[in-house]
Chains A and B, each alone.
Chain A
Amino acid sequence: MTLHERAGPTPVRTSELVAAADLQRRARELLGAGFRLALVAGHDDGHGLRVVYTFCAGPPDRRAELQVRLDRDRPALPSLAPWSFPASRFERELADLFGITPVGHPFLRPLVLHQHWPRGWHPLRRDAGPPPPMRADAEPFPFVAVDGPGVYEIPVGPVHAGLIEPGHFRFSVVGETILKMKARLWFVHRGVEKLFEGCPVTEGVGLAERISGDTAAAHNLAYCLAVEDAMGVELAEDVRLLRGLLVELERITNHVCDLGALCNDVGFGVAQARALTLREQLLRLADQMTGHRLLRGAIRPGTTSLRRLPTEAELADIAARVEDLVDLATSNTVVMDRFEGTAVLPKDDAEAMGVLGVVARASGVAVDARVAHPFCEIGADLSPVVEEAGDVAARFSVRAREIAVSLGLVAELAGRVGSLDAGTAVAVRRGGSGLGIVEGWRGAIVHRAEVDAAGRVTRCKVVDPSFLTWPALSVALADTIVPDFPLANKSFNLSYAGNDL
């Protein structure tokens, strides 16, 4: 099958309604068949609650959904946590936002809603109403205290000295060695999924682009793919090519930024200065291509339009500068000494925790949604960039190598594009549910949208790879020293906003 014969990548899909009693058996069958649990979405259908479990695997691209209907008054599900770590996180989210009890969950405590939210108020229920007043008697989060001679705690954040997103980190430390680190997030929970409810599909774009500001194109693309899938929209090839190009450009820009930031965190400011210059060059290119430095506005349901394509000379210049930047960092022995062996995430742990994206590939797990769930024909020749060491150096190297791959893809896609203003805006034909999977620069982004016959989004569940990857940071910090934490955290560079929603 050649590229031009295919109308577009068509995934194999299944969807089945299962009884709560059969959920564990069916889920274990899918997990055993190599599927991963990509998304769990709660739904309030008015007369009852419904939970959708989306499993996916690839290549070849396979997507399987299990739907369970629940009683509105006493919603409870058998927990999948014993077989799937991601499930344990999704179930805690369901418990907070929908009040659905996962029976048999080993460690059920609030995840999304902080302690000062009133118990029993579940914001994604239809009858939730406006946010109630905060509790005055809120207890502090039950951090697990580590006992022992010389153990002390360092609380950091949520407000930090630098301009970064808010998160609270609680370290239990002996001397300088980290015994335990607990990340407490959801300080930037904005109620994104609630805001999607009732939103006309074309207006959801603005919201999707702001889920995580540095991932505007990939999140928006996942949203658009989901609603197009729901509405049965056929996409022209040029639309898919342009979208692929934009997502790769976003990957290049953010990876460059990360390479510089990693150098900056070890005090190697010269490399950071070069990376920032290069980033500015890429942002200006994005501005010229789409009219927005962060690639907003180019991708819309049914269409994608650019003002111009990047030229070969521009791409060659960027490639040369990236190579210089990587050489500058890797030829410095002190920089590499800081990177190597720091914050190792073992492959076993990465696999068991369902870690995604750059972090997974740096630990030897070859996951890449561009290969597993391609939305345009780039998957055939692409193999995931994988490193085995799992340390900061491996995560640096994966990013450096992926920039080169992405630059090649941008050039290839630009060569195949026919029209810069491709596709037609969607007209509502039918409602339904759809799934969008995109390998953003951090990892696989999954959106699942349900659209009604009037073209309004009734529900859009968003999973940023950060949601599944954050817990692995604590694992990687075992035996790491406190002053290396910022470097380890930067090498993961997970999204707070994308996680908190």
Chain B
Amino acid sequence: MTALLATLSAPGDPLVAQIGISVLQVAYVLVGGPLLLGVMAKIRARAEGRTGPPLIQGLLDLRKLLRKEAIRAEHASAVTALAPLVLVASAAVAVALSPLLTTRPVLETSADVFVVVYLLLMGSVALALGGLDAGTAFGGMGSSRAMTIGAISEPALLVGILALAVQAKTSNLPGIVTATLAHPGWLASPQRILALVALVVVVIAETGRIPVDNPSTHLELTMVHEAMVLEDAGPDLALVSAGEAMRLGLLLALVANLFFPWGVDTSPGGVGIVVALGALGAKTAAIAALIALVEVSTAKLRLFRVPELLAGGFVLAVVAVTTGLVTR
């Protein structure tokens, strides 16, 4: 870690520094995602009067799963093997491109809102195909439900971020962060507030939290995300869990940095990276805690009510874009 930081702080080839910091982002989110889930589980447990699992339970589970033997369904094809890999790879690339620790990640000009959203979509589709692959009733049911929810939440995610892009006059994510840093007053603008609400709804849906999905249920028939991965075991399940945790980390980090960009390192190769690590951790943990508190105080919606919630999020996102265009 110190050696990596030394390399990053040393003046040298900026591309090497950019690659280094993107690798650091991926590693940070890979470890941080399960920790954020740990924070949420802890808050839920405390609210229910339980001690709850340790914060690092997610990481311990990953280690346990990775040590297990790989077991796949008898009739599974290569899709079952590939889906977890595609999920993790797409999440990793999206994390590497996004302005999480720095405004200068690798391939920064390609770090477009469309690229990142479609990378996430790629992971969703891989998961859904994986759910269908073994041909079980639950997998297909989960995939069907996940795609129904995703069909509304993914556009809402795109449009929600577009509202910021309109304001910043660029769809480049690092560009949006840089512009927001330069104009802190934007935070109070109507389109920002509308977009923030829309994105929080999307994040809850995309990460399968209450009131959209219940990640801790044992009731097969109510599951959305869990039903898709029922057939996965051992290392496959470890990859799926890691990929899901990274997506959660990425979405929370995007909300954190697009709306509250303070702490992000703007000049590659400085000590600012240490500040950025701390700031990102604190911001995402705070958002995770807020989501957990919402989860504790509400129940899971009836499945047919979920599209209403998401449609509400989508409408807010559209209004945010329109407001941005009108008030420009």
Contact = CB atoms under 8 A, between A and B. Distances in A.
A in complex with B:
yes
Interface of A: 152-156, 160-162, 176, 263, 265-270, 272-274, 277, 332, 334-335, 337-338, 481-487
A268 B216 CA distance: 11
Closest 6 CB pairs of A and B: A267-B300, A273-B48, A162-B218, A268-B299, A486-B219, A267-B214
Contact of A267 (B47, B49, B138, B210): B210
B217 A267 contact: yes
Given A154-B138, A335-B299, A481-B303, 10 more contacts: A160-B218, A162-B218, A162-B219, A269-B44, A273-B48, A332-B299, A337-B305, A481-B302, A482-B221, A483-B221
B260 to A, nearest CB: 29
Contact of A485 (B44, B216, B221, B300): B221
B75 interface: no
Contacts of A268: 298-300
B302 A161 contact: no
Contact of A482 (B141, B214, B299): B141
Interface residues of B, number: 29
Interface string B200-225: 00000000001100101111111000
Interface string B16-38: 00000000000000000000000
Interface string B212-247: 001011111110000000000000000000000000
B71 interface: no
A334 B298 contact: yes
| Residue from the set B145, B210, B297, B298 with the largest chain A CB neighbour count within 10 Å | B298
A155 B137 contact: yes
B290 interface: no
28 contacts: A154-B141, A156-B221, A161-B218, A161-B220, A162-B219, A176-B145, A176-B304, A265-B219, A265-B222, A266-B300, A267-B211, A268-B300, A269-B44, A269-B48, A270-B47, A270-B296, A273-B50, A277-B49, A332-B298, A334-B301, A481-B302, A482-B141, A482-B221, A483-B221, A483-B302, A484-B302, A485-B221, A487-B222
A338 B305 CA distance: 10
Contacts of B296: 269-270
Contact of A160 (B48, B220, B222): B220
A337 B211 CA distance: 12
Contacts of A485: 221
Given A161-B219, A162-B218, A481-B304, A154 B137 contact: yes
Contact of B221 (A153, A335, A486): A486
Given A277-B49, A482-B141, A338 B300 contact: yes
Interface string B291-328: 00000111111111100000000000000000000000
A434 to B, nearest CB: 42
A176 to B, nearest CB: 6
Instruction: Indicate the member of B220, B304, B305 with the most A CB atoms within 10 Å.
Output: B220
Nearest to A335: B299
Nearest to B219: A486
B220 A156 contact: yes
A334 B299 contact: yes
A265 to B, nearest CB: 7
A387 B194 CA distance: 43
A482 B145 CA distance: 11
A490 to B, nearest CB: 9
A338 B221 contact: no
B216 to A, nearest CB: 8
B113 to A, nearest CB: 32
A160 B219 CA distance: 8
A344 B147 CA distance: 29
